[in-house]
Amino acid sequence: MLLMSFAYRHDIDGLRAFAVISVVIFHIQEHWLPSGFLGVDMFFVISGFLISTQLLNQISSGTFSLTEFYRRRVKRIVPAMLFVVSITITFSLFWLLPEDAEKAAESAAFAVASMANVYFWLFQDTGYFAESSLELPLLHLWSLGVEEQFYVFWPLILIALSSLLKSVRIIIFTTAIAAASFFLGSYLYDFSATFTYYMLPTRAGELLVGAISAILLFQKRTKTFLQAKSMSRFIWWSGVTLVAISFWYLNPGYIFPGAHAILPTVGLSLMLLGGSGYNGKAVKLLSLKPLVFFGTISYSLYLWHWPVMAFYRYANYEITPASGVMLFIFMTAISWLTYKFIEEGFRHSTDSAAKVFVKQLIVPSAIIIFACLAIMKTDGKLVRYIQPDYLPLLEEIKRSQTPAYKNKYVCQSNSINEEMSRSKDCIVGAGGKVDAVLVGDSNASHFVGFLSEIAKESGVSFRNLEIGACPTISKPKGTASPARVKDCKEGYPILSSLMDQHTHIIIGNSWPDYQKSNPNYLDTLFAEINPHIAEGKRITFLLKAPVHNSYDRRCKQKQLSVKNMNCKVPDTPISERVFFTNKKIVDFASKHPNVDTIDISTLLCQNGMCSIYDENGVSQYYDRSHLNSESSHRLGKRWLSSKNTWRF
């Protein structure tokens, strides 16, 4: 991922090693190094520094050629990337479910076109039921897309400003753009967290911080300034301090990139700047052979580590310290082989620019894109047609695991409108007058089947309307995830209007998740419900169902390809978070005679332990915290025959 400059510095290889090892450890097991994601930002800084050093030297000497520049970039970046992409896509066809293989092919086509970041911004599913991003085998190529897009614009900008390269104005200009990028990252986060994370405008600042160090070193005054060992030592150690603080202080819970990216990127930039004149023992540590080795293979290691981890996680294999070490060794081995036979082989090619573009970029890219289109055309089933039993078995398993929101009568959507609030499709039960309304998120949706059985027995009907991943409060910011705030805010007035129109309000939310995001969430909800209680309306809260964290809802499907997967889910106690939020709701209900609760755990748990399976060994859940459609109906019938007394 990182590019060599003309003036080779061993300490930069050491910094590369630190960056890539941090990222790999973080991705193997996040809690082993919670700040390890900063390694990607370190990559950006080093790339900006090295590429700018090369451009400044060549532009100022009059030897720069845009064609030659891109010839070198293609030789350095493309062959290894295309090799890893082709192996990953091929393996995906046999290892992943068809829909996942199709998504992998889509992302591969964008990655080959240097637009992986655009793909994951526009098309990565961030919905509540989205598959884990940890299982997307080419997700990591978003950062390569950012760099490649930077390489399109930055050389042209420096050429346009060639008369200012030795002027302080180029430093002011670059610093201003970098500052604007960091500001944009902080400002846009609430509007689109995915754009902020993946796209060049909000990531350019990190590359430009590295470029600023290169520009400073290009200034004669800076070179003279750094000749004083005490000054270069001070700058280097200042950088080390900032990087160390960043790794101690930052974690994935912070808004990122934005302003939080300034600390680690400026710190590393100072290390690059100070390291040009300071060669103390600490700097020499970065030149030790093991670090230089990992710095040398850092690009290949970055390319390989994520697909390996994604395929490993896809099969639900356990990650332990021992397996983590084995995975790291395996990644290192294939990365060294890729470096030795792919990177080195193509990097030293003496072919002309035209031949390099055709042989190393255009032809192999076209082949991969054609293969990806074939995979997409067949919905990821390209190789499954030669396995006659696979597709029928897969469909049979899927039918038994239908989520509630797939039913027409369950009116859940990521965004809702007035028309949906009037739809007859959203009325469930025995027919006749509709006095009750069910609102909330997916934790309300999975109760629709359950409530429909009780409604039929009671001879009534109810309306339902739910917004995925949205708390049922008027001001969702700070409670809902940033990506969902807009839909939540726009949808709440529609839900509020429905609550005003009905005499019985039933609410289901992911209480513990929202309470974790905002400790005042439940108090806010109660305050907004109180006017309805004061009007004498009946309120029913659907308590959170037991959560099974180790449940992979598609495990049985995956077993068709990954034969040794263990799909058995152990019985689970009700978690403290679920217990606490459910209790707080029960306590609130106990203070009001017209407020009650439904606790599904009375049907799912015995002696404090909750099973994901029914008495026949059939899974009752769609995912780790939601009932499947069939189970919801079955549990409704069981409720009617149990000692539970709640009725419409």
Could you give all domains of the chain from N- to C-terminal order, each with its CATH number?
Answer: 10-377 (no CATH), 404-641 (3.40.50.1110)
Helix, strand or coil, per DSSP, at residue 427: strand
- Smallest CA-to-CA distance from 444 within 483, 390, 491, 398 is with 491
Question: Residue 237 burial by CB count (10 A; 0-12/13-18/19+): exposed, middle or buried?
Answer: middle
Is residue 432 within 8 Å of residue 459, measured between CB atoms? yes
**Sheet of strand 572-573: strand arrangement:** 572-573, 609-610, 605-606
Q: Is the peptide bond before 570 cis (omega within 30 degrees of 0)?
A: no
Amino acid 168 reads V
Alpha carbons 443 and 420: distance in angstroms, whole number: 19
543 DSSP assignment: P
| pLDDT by 10-residue block (mean), the chain, 648 residues | 57 96 96 95 97 94 94 96 98 96 97 96 67 87 97 95 86 96 93 92 97 90 74 93 96 89 97 88 91 97 98 91 96 98 92 95 98 97 89 89 90 96 95 92 97 95 97 97 92 98 98 97 98 98 94 90 89 96 98 97 94 88 93 96 93
> What is the reported pLDDT for 497?
97
Beta bridge partners of 628: 403
Alpha carbons 465 and 502: distance in angstroms, whole number: 13
First to last CA, the chain: 61
> What is the reported pLDDT for 130?
54
Element (H, E) at 598: strand 595-598
Q: β-strand 434-440 against 461-467: which pairing, if any?
A: parallel
Tokens of 643: 């000692």
Is residue 96 within 8 Å of residue 375, measured between CB atoms? no
* Chain centre to alpha carbon of residue 540: 35
Alpha carbons 361 and 74: distance in angstroms, whole number: 7
